[in-house]
Structure 1
């Protein structure tokens, strides 16, 4: 659903940019609490040690999976938006930042999504999906039994609804600032209809990913931290209860590294190899735009001639190799950029707390 430049006029694009900037500013403050924990205890600090690297990995994983367009209807494909997945794994504020980092990397490095439309894309794909999904997820988790299966089921439902919600917000922005004269009713019907189908794919990917992490390390899933279940660690090939002692931390740290490395390798394989087999059909927004004339005033991307434009490496003639290298580069840049952002956010909060706790000197 990456909107290019020209779909939405300049004033509305600018307004969306202001909304996106405000949401990112709020998310930076909220992410400090999510990355560090809110209690101020040593347990909260441990949560921060777990969440900061995971957040960078989540951004890279979303980038990789967004390269895997899947068919949803005749001549139409869809891809993960990622807001629900990010919010459930690392928290709503951190989730907004994760998807925003991905969208920024895609727009700047791969000419995917217009530069002037970046605010529109962050508003629809990062803010809307994350807020809608997390609100629905938290509501369902409170109603359902406190089990891992409930977390997975709630993830499925939240992701499913988040995608058409994003389509509705785009339709509203188009209603206010669309650059073409197209029936709003037709646009709304087409957008919501196709994105309901895409939402099913989003829900499956989100539920499978959340379920896999919850099964191995539920303490790494932000949305599952309230589960009253004993943490399991794999020791010599067997799952055992983790002891509630400081001595367990080295084992838990090794387990976290295993999850992180597994996630990174998976992301590299998806972007570098599996992406070659993704559907070549236009995604939901592209299809609707073509069918209904929304794209009549679409503008060429300002970085269309960049070395990685359209997810290929310039001067590499082999399509498989070109796309694979671009995917690997994208995952690497995103995980570095994302991890850097989240470590900086966490360190800033830690520094503020240390400064507040330091005794103040008084002159005599």
Structure 2
């Protein structure tokens, strides 16, 4: 099974590595207590594949909207392009926890959501006759953040932006190139997952050989994906760095995600809602299935030093973050300047939630954190 999949990815566009380098297989003790196969099938079928499908569709719509804007510059087309960018960015939040397998090998996160934007490099690219988005210097001059800067920069009026587009400057090709890379990358990852369109990774992900909890198993990939994305891509990148948590207290409000569009908190809220769905095994359309909450309960997992169910502690942590977010208004950059204590409390809540995933849930499920 594994060798066939490896050959498949070699023949397509990337090589599966890592997951086939470790002994994997079902832990018989798990089957007496929890339907692990049903669990990974639910996560794959009802959460991962639909999330990548939605992302691909939203990114294609973004590509189409930008093409229309370039061909027919106008206020309405500009508004549609901006909304399409926001829709695609929100959709990405539901794929963020799944940075393993095809997503990791493709470098999807790097292509779509490296922020903050390197505005110096972006401006240099606008003066260039040739732009290679795969060069290291363009690591933060592509993806959603770059389109955010190009479309939503408040220092440039809509009239000036439209006039620049109408002149057929380098801006046009740059925007279309970025959008094309975003669309292509997400489409390749989605196509490698969905068996309905020839993808095989779902079969690999749910195969008996992928069960168990050893490194490279599906459960290990899921737990590590959740913990890594929450700690680094959400807590640190979305909040910690902007409030100066990693720079001696020197705040950087301009480093927030979605900074120019002014919807950082909306993006953050969507990402936490994504964790809730994965944790409970519930699809965005409301299909309820096996989740980590049932897994932890059947394992009898308790919060260290207490009698509280670990699943309840995790659910409460997510609810607390969302409650705090409900009391704040976008943009996050303004909150950092004018309401820093509230943002610091949000940061502490995210850190606590990250701790529960990494230091409590992972050990309870006997999963080793490998990132």
Name the structure where strand makes up a greater proportion of residues: 1
Greater RCO structure (CA 8 Å; 6+ sep): 1
TM-score (norm 1): 0.25
